[in-house]
Structure 1
Amino acid sequence: MQDVYDVTIIGGGPAGLYSAFYSGLRGLKTKLIESQDQLGGKVLLYPEKLIWDIGGHPPILGEQFVKQLIAQAKTFDPTILTGTKVDYIERQEDNFVIHTALGDKHYSKTILLAVGGGIINPQKLTLEGAEKYEMTNLHYTVQSYQRFVDKEIIISGGGNAALDWAVELSPIAKNVTIVYRKETLSAHEATIKEALAAGVQIECNTTITKLSANTDKTAIQLVTCENSKTKQSYTRQIDEVIVSHGYNREASLTFEESMTIPKKDNYYYEGKATGETTQPGIFAAGDILSFEGKIHLLLGTFQDAANAVNSVKTYLEPTAYRNAVVSSHNEMFKEKNRSIIEKQLVHSN
């Protein structure tokens, strides 16, 4: 017998995670499907960066923020699948059928798209043998600052991410050098000034041309770079190599032909601030949704998610209230509130 969910959320970043929480709050049977092995979306790329722009929330590290989002998403025990890429969605009678790359089928009354910018994979260094160093000292993201203490670091890339990492690492590293293939950096001018003020060495028209291993062939010891204008090259000893060449974006799913949704810039789904798309039963939240007045910040993501879930609720139950009861008066939280207050009283005594 088919197990049919009220709503299936596709995407496990901030939009998807908050949607899972809010759909539970609204009493919906909920499933969340994420293509990556971990929940958290793009925030996982910057685990040690501080997030400041969430209303009423003190600055928080990306890693901790993701942990809290996941814990919140699990409040009402949704079904969560990771490492599961959605390939194709079709409509059959009253339900949607979700086909995955694993060959599985999932059934749902509604779909909530929260796939952000799609499945993102870093553009890798195109040098022979580079992949063997990915387990040691060749990095495409910075997971922990601690390993870079007192290290000689070279960063390939000239965008905001590359410069941000250079600024963050310069106070703890022995030395940080940026190499960029073009004449001028593409990062914001303020970020470039900050990097220069922090003592970051910047070399434009320069690319990494060779990686040389240490004696046991496990890690990079020497990096050779070449200036495309002067044709001069140099080799220097290095401890860590960071590559920030941007990301390849892979669209995470397709629909049957009759379910086409208009797109902006050939990717983002056009819809309403209420999370509705042109297809009945398909809703969206977060970066994937485009509408007039869109706020491309985390705080906007949460409003998107709440609006989309409220639209799902009234689509399934037309007589339901448009909005959920606020948490301070919501019956769903009475027992949870009591338990939290009792624990606080115990700790205070």
Structure 2
Amino acid sequence: MMEHNEEVYDVTIIGGGPAGLFAAFYAGLREMKVKVIEAQSQLGGKVHVYPQKMIWDIGGMTPINGSGLIEQMIEQGLTFEPTIELQQTITKMNKLDSHIFELETDQQKIHYSKTVIMAVGAGVIDPIKLDAENASLYENSNLYYSVKSIADFKDKTVLISGGGSSAVDWANELAPVAKQVILIYRGDDFKAHESDVSKLARNNVEYRTHTEITALLGDDSINEVKTLNNQTNKTDTLSVDAVLVNHGYNRNHQLMTESGLQIELKDNYFIQGNVLGESNIPGLYGAGDILSHEGKLHLIAGAFQDAANVVNCAKRYLDPEAQKVALVSSHNARFKEKNKEYLYTK
């Protein structure tokens, strides 16, 4: 039975990554009633894939790792206390005769909103799990699908499985701290930039192509891995302290392809919008990686600009007499009391 959340919000933001969180902040700044619906159990979006990576290309911000950026984005995004709904995936959208959007989730809940901002990136991201018997038993010990702390691999023999940019990148990143890094890939050639592949040898990374994991051995944690060379059918057993799997991600495209709305899409997924993030559906906007247009900037900084643009459009959609943009924060009365916390207590 569907649970109806009868309260109608000015804007509902689908996705709690960089674009969604900044949109929540900026909509709150514009005195809009805001709800954020996030499919994962935590806010932060795709940045959770690279929590230890350093990010240099956000204007005015000194280098920060993914985890630090997530903390700051969440703190900013919650400034004006938006309603947050976690672990809910929107499965269907409709627009009622009253011009209110009806959003149905996989948790049998229905939400209502006057406008909607799609900030779902490239879809709900889940790592492709290792296809080996009992692999799930080691996920709480030494089988990893992402690197949350480089220190977890210090002085260890690490086996990395994968042939893309992420696998090669982590092999080079972990080599200076690990005792040994072994990189295996079932294909012919690593699908990474040539300069990164060439670093493997300089970093003393042992790498093998045409090689895949067939079994994980150990009691509470993995201590040996059986591998197979799929060209020669030769098997091998490697002693390891940790296994890192980078086999890519499953992406859920259901919302964009099966929505009750006829959203104009590019490549059957991305919202085909304009530079302001407006879609062909009045009141429905795109921000971040989900948005496609000729001047698109595929950086986190670009996601922030998208967010401000679509919030301004949504505000004017609801109130055509509203200012086109929010008053800048340095002169905005909404920060008068909040500024005191930073000026006099921090």
Unmatched 5+ stretches in structure 2: none
Q: For residue 335 of structure 1, report the CA deviation from its aligned partner.
A: 1.8
Determine if contact 2:159/2:183 at 8 Å carries over to the other structure.
yes
Paired residue total: 341
Q: Distance between the aligned counterparts of 2:233 and 2:178, measured in 1?
A: 29
- Secondary structure of the 1:154 match is strand
Determine if contact 2:184/2:208 at 8 Å carries over to the other structure.
yes
Determine if contact 1:124/1:245 at 8 Å carries over to the other structure.
yes
Instruction: Write the letter of the residue equivalent to 1:144.
Output: S
Q: Distance between the aligned counterparts of 2:80 and 2:24, measured in 1?
A: 8
The one of 147, 152, 155 equivalent to 1:147 is 152
Q: Check if 1:125 corresponds to 2:127.
A: no
Instruction: Write the letter of the residue equivalent to 1:262.
Output: E
Q: For residue 338 of structure 1, report the CA deviation from its aligned partner.
A: 2.9
Aligned to 1:73: 77
Matches within 5 A, 1:263-274: 263-274=265-276
Aligned in 2, Cα 1:61/1:188: closer, same or farther, shift over 3 Å? Answer: same
Q: Distance between the aligned counterparts of 2:231 and 2:38, measured in 1?
A: 45
Q: Check if 1:28 corresponds to 2:32.
A: yes
Q: Distance between the aligned counterparts of 1:297 and 1:91, measured in 2?
A: 31
The one of 108, 117, 137 equivalent to 2:113 is 108
Instruction: Write the letter of the residue equivalent to 1:61.
Output: N
Aligned to 2:249: 247
The one of 267, 278, 281 equivalent to 1:279 is 281
Aligned to 1:163: 168
The one of 291, 294, 297 equivalent to 2:296 is 294
Aligned to 1:137: 142
Determine if contact 1:21/1:76 at 8 Å carries over to the other structure.
yes
Aligned to 1:188: 193
Aligned to 1:347: none
Matches within 5 A, 1:300-311: 300-311=302-313
Moved more, 305-314 or 121-130: 121-130
TM-score by length of 2: 0.95
- Deviations along 1:110-160, one digit per CA (max 9) or x if unpaired, are 000000011111111111221211111111111111121111100001111
Aligned to 2:331: 329
Q: Check if 1:225 corresponds to 2:227.
A: yes
Q: Distance between the aligned counterparts of 1:342 and 1:286, measured in 2?
A: 35
- Deviations along 1:204-249, one digit per CA (max 9) or x if unpaired, are 1111122112xxx221111111222222221111110111111111
- Secondary structure of the 1:220 match is coil
Q: Distance between the aligned counterparts of 1:244 and 1:31, measured in 2?
A: 33
Determine if contact 2:102/2:110 at 8 Å carries over to the other structure.
yes
Aligned to 1:43: 47
Instruction: Write the letter of the residue equivalent to 2:209.
Output: C
Q: For residue 310 of structure 1, report the CA deviation from its aligned partner.
A: 0.5
Q: Distance between the aligned counterparts of 1:52 and 1:258, measured in 2?
A: 40
Q: For residue 96 of structure 1, report the CA deviation from its aligned partner.
A: 1.0
Q: For residue 254 of structure 1, report the CA deviation from its aligned partner.
A: 5.3
Q: Once the two structures are aligned, what percentage of the paired residues are identical?
A: 48
Q: For residue 252 of structure 1, report the CA deviation from its aligned partner.
A: 5.2
Q: For residue 196 of structure 1, report the CA deviation from its aligned partner.
A: 2.4
Q: Distance between the aligned counterparts of 1:270 and 1:117, measured in 2?
A: 14
Q: Distance between the aligned counterparts of 1:2 and 1:267, measured in 2?
A: 29
Q: Distance between the aligned counterparts of 2:88 and 2:227, measured in 1?
A: 40
- Deviations along 1:262-302, one digit per CA (max 9) or x if unpaired, are 11111111001111000011011000010011111101000
Aligned in 2, Cα 1:310/1:79: closer, same or farther, shift over 3 Å? Answer: same
Q: Distance between the aligned counterparts of 2:180 and 2:255, measured in 1?
A: 43
Q: Distance between the aligned counterparts of 2:263 and 2:336, measured in 1?
A: 40
Q: Distance between the aligned counterparts of 1:238 and 1:255, measured in 2?
A: 43
Determine if contact 2:257/2:268 at 8 Å carries over to the other structure.
no
- Deviations along 1:92-111, one digit per CA (max 9) or x if unpaired, are 22311111111111111000
Q: Distance between the aligned counterparts of 2:31 and 2:293, measured in 1?
A: 27
Unmatched 5+ stretches in structure 1: 345-349
Determine if contact 1:152/1:239 at 8 Å carries over to the other structure.
yes
TM-score by length of 1: 0.94
Determine if contact 1:156/1:243 at 8 Å carries over to the other structure.
yes
Aligned to 1:57: 61
Moved more, 317-326 or 245-254: 245-254
Q: For residue 69 of structure 1, report the CA deviation from its aligned partner.
A: 0.2
